[in-house]
Amino acid sequence: MTHRDLLAQKIEQQTQTTGVVGLGYVGFPLAVEYAAAGCSVIGFDISSEKVAAVNRGESYIQDVSSVSTSPLVSSGKLRATTDFSEIALVDTINICVPTPLRKTKDPDMSFVVAATEEISRYLHPGMLVILESTTYPGTTEELLLPILERSGLKCGVDFFLCFSPERIDPGNPHFQTKNIPKVVGGVTPDCTELGRLFYQQALDRVVPVSSTGVAEMVKLLENTFRMINIGMVNELAIMCNRMGINVWEVIDAAATKPFGFMPFYPGPGLGGHCIPIDPFYLSWKSKQSGIEARFIELAGQINAEMPRHVVSTIQDALNKNAKPVKGSSIHIMGLSYKKNIDDVRESPALDIIHLLSLKGAHLSYSDPYVPTVEHEGITLKSQDSVEACESADCVVIVTDHDTFDYGRLAGEARLIVDTRNAMRGFSSDNIVRL
């Protein structure tokens, strides 16, 4: 039997050992799903704290419960290690490491390269390697393939290489790793087929595509689509504000059209690891081809300015109450980048806090998911929202967690700046909407 046939047989019989490099928001839920499906899973991470937590059966990811993790560890289906030599034991391995942007807005591929080089050291015939980290089109074949083929093994014959974009939406109660359709594209048709077969064992739906380049572009299209439309509606919000028009009412009315319109909503800025970052992979790659991604760059500029627009709105609202920002007590409601989660990566709340601190405001915040925060030399602890809102000169709703009591807030806060339309249904002179 060929290496392809032997691996396919292992996957179909679920006798393969699956490895996952990077046990964060993407890798850990994936490892849990495969262990739950009956596969033996080894998680790899440089963080000894994460590895120890996994091996205790404890989850540190909000969307994965320890109740589901612990039995998998106890049964021996799931374990974690910092020893990358154990890659030699696995038949399939998924790379789920960060791909941040440098300050110059070009991709930092150091984590992907480091993971791939470790895999290359222990690459063996009949192994499937899948990159899930979001990146620019061409990464899998231009960057990973040469590193892996240094081993002397040939892709598509001795080992198999795919790209499959992660589509995790933290805090989404309806769509998680198992039921989000999984796109996968391989370097060769056999690579694609093995990738499809692999994901089919644990996930509900697999969508094979013709190449790694198509699969890489899929994720960038998804998030660029969102980023550009959010940028458009953020610009519309600024226009409507100048014209004295309620942008939220405009969007609600437009959304009654049953075709040709999809509602997007303004906000204090973009957050999370995907939407603020992924489109710039595409922009960077386009520049290598001599094409300027003007829509992406413009939308990025508009979205990046939203925290400043929020601060300007706060300043105007306080001014109408005969108060300057300097010396005023300003309480931030919600610090995570979206509601009902604990993730503060790229959160606009951090930029708003930083900008207000530069203007001399006395700052506090409430967030049931984020007990403490350190940013740009500022250290704060989450406060009781009722007491803090009663004493604040201005309350700013940055993240609209469901646990906040907006009715009580409407009655007790002196001044509210609402960036999320959380005070929908409340009409008062002390509420200023974005």
DSSP state of 144: I
Considering just the CA atoms, what is the radius of gyration of the chain in Å? 24
Would you tell me the crossing angle of helices 48-55 and 27-36 to the nearest 10 degrees?
20
384, exposed or middle or buried, with CB in 10 Å at 0-12, 13-18, 19+?
exposed
Listed in sequence order, the DSSP H helices in 46-106 are: 48-55, 66-74
Q: What do you get for the CA distance between the two ends of the chain, in Å?
A: 64
Residue ranges with strand state E in 14-91: 17-21, 40-44, 78-81
Q: How far apart are CA 39 and CA 202, in angstroms?
A: 9
Catalytic position from the list 96, 162, 191, 274? 274
Q: How far apart are CA 164 and CA 134, in angstroms?
A: 9
CA-wise closest residue to 388 among 409, 374, 411: 409
State how far the alpha carbon of 266 is from the alpha carbons of 101, 270, 306, 325, 362, in Å: 24, 10, 9, 24, 26
With H, G, I as helix, E, B as strand and everything else as coil, classify residue 380. strand
Q: How far apart are CA 311 and CA 398, in angstroms?
A: 11
CA-wise closest residue to 36 among 71, 1, 85: 71
Specify whether 274 is catalytic.
yes
Query: Which uninterrupted H or E stretch holds 374?
Result: strand 372-375
Percent helix / strand / coil, the chain, rounded to 5? 40, 15, 40
Q: How far apart are CA 263 and CA 284, in angstroms?
A: 28
**Mind telling me the catalytic residues?**
274
